[in-house]
A and B are shown apart, each in its own frame.
Chain A
Amino acid sequence: MNIHTIANHLNGLCDQSQTGFQFDCYPIDGDVEVLQVNIIGREEIPVFVSVTDNQILCISYLWGEDEVNPERRAEMFETMLELNIPMPLSSFAKIDNKYVVYGALSVQSSMEEVEQELAVLSDNCLEVIDELVDYLK
């Protein structure tokens, strides 16, 4: 399992996907190979996929620290913690100064599971922004 097998699968799906989404993905070169997965119609919020020794990490960026209303920051944290378990398959995290939602899968996962993870992550991402937009500037 590497990002290229995932890319080939997703790009080859066209309108045959189980999730109803169409994917357009391409690898980004760097120290670690990252796959940028664009979901058609939601290109503004891509999902980034990287594969480590034992897991597939799917990450979507929510917003930067600079977008957060400082007066409501603590409240935002509390809401994130409260939503963390109800939110299916994804969790909140922070990388550098960016808040993210992410999902981790075993490298033994099937392509259908990867596809489902990406679809749910994207849905979660939109819903979270919609729901937590009041905590932003």
Chain B
Amino acid sequence: MGILNKILTAFRGGATEVGQGIVDANSTRIFEQEIRDAEKHLTKAKRELTDVMAKEMQANREVDRLKRSVAEHEGYATQALEKDNEALAIEVAEKIAQLDQELAEQQAANQSYSAHAERLKTLVKKTERQLSDYQRQLSMVKTTESVQKATATITDSFASSNSKLLNAKDSLERIKARQQQFDDRLQASEALAEEDSDKSLHAKLAEAGIGEQKSSANAVLDRLKAKKG
């Protein structure tokens, strides 16, 4: 059974209450132990693989050396035959037979190392895949548990402070109202600032005798006199 299925089964079964784990703490520990074991196996397999590959390289070198030696002795044997020294030729041939034997043994060993290395590589890959899958599953269980515990913590905190999370509509309305108030205030202060700058401009213009002039008492008198006249 996949881990998602386990989590869903636990949810459906009502394992969401505080203190009730998705997968009980004990099986989480067992799972963690399994992961540690798999990690140990992996390290061991990798070390073994290194050894086997080193032996394979060594055997390869030995095969090359023996092949060279056989070729060399075949040359000697040919030369001995050319010189009609049959006795020496037989001696060399015996050596070649011995070398051939060693070569066959060394080649067999080499093949066996190669096959072993291949098996170990497959095993390492498989273990690595399995390990990452275990870790993914464990992280899912732990995250689920952590979120549930966090939710319990949040719920408890709100209950103990006698406050509660408002419902969505009210929360949004309050936030919007506050934002509106902020915007209104901003607009008002902008309008005010604008007015102020208007006023100061008017004052400067008046001082310079430009624009609408304040009526003075003399001007009023002049106007009255003009009316009368």
Q: Which of B169, B175, B182 has the most CB of A within 10 A?
A: B175
Given known pairs A34-B154, A67-B167, A96-B16, the reply for A44 and B175 (CB within 8 Å) is yes
User: From residue 131 to 158 of chain B, which have CB atoms closer than 8 A to chain A?
Assistant: 139, 142-143, 146-154, 156-157
Given known pairs A42-B175, A52-B146, A54-B139, the reply for A136 and B169 (CB within 8 Å) is yes
Min CB gap A22→B, angstroms: 13
Q: Which residue of B lies closest to A50 (CB)?
A: B150
User: From residue 49 to 96 of chain A, which have CB atoms closer than 8 A to chain B?
Assistant: 50, 52-55, 57, 59, 61-64, 67, 95-96
Q: Are B150 and A34 in contact (CB under 8 A)?
A: yes
Q: How many residues of A contact B (CB 8 A)?
A: 33
Q: Which of B149, B154, B166 has the most CB of A within 10 A?
A: B154
Give CA–CA (A129, B151) in the complex, Å.
Answer: 20
Q: Which residue of A lies closest to B173 (CB)?
A: A44
Q: Are B146 and A50 in contact (CB under 8 A)?
A: yes
Task: List the count of A-B residue pairs having beta carbons below 8 Å apart.
Answer: 86
Q: Are A126 and B172 in contact (CB under 8 A)?
A: yes
Interface residues of A, dominant DSSP: mixed
Q: Are B165 and A34 in contact (CB under 8 A)?
A: no
Given known pairs A28-B153, A31-B152, A41-B175, the reply for A50 and B139 (CB within 8 Å) is no
Determine which of B153, B168, B171, B178 lies in contact with A41 in the assembled complex, contact meaning CB atoms within 8 Å: B178
26 intermolecular pairs with C-beta atoms under 8 Å apart: A29-B157, A30-B152, A30-B153, A31-B149, A32-B149, A32-B153, A34-B150, A34-B153, A44-B171, A45-B171, A45-B172, A48-B150, A50-B147, A52-B139, A52-B143, A52-B146, A55-B143, A57-B146, A57-B150, A59-B147, A61-B165, A62-B168, A63-B168, A96-B16, A129-B171, A133-B168
Nearest 8 CB-CB pairs, A to B?
A: A30-B153, A44-B171, A63-B168, A32-B149, A31-B149, A50-B150, A28-B157, A129-B172
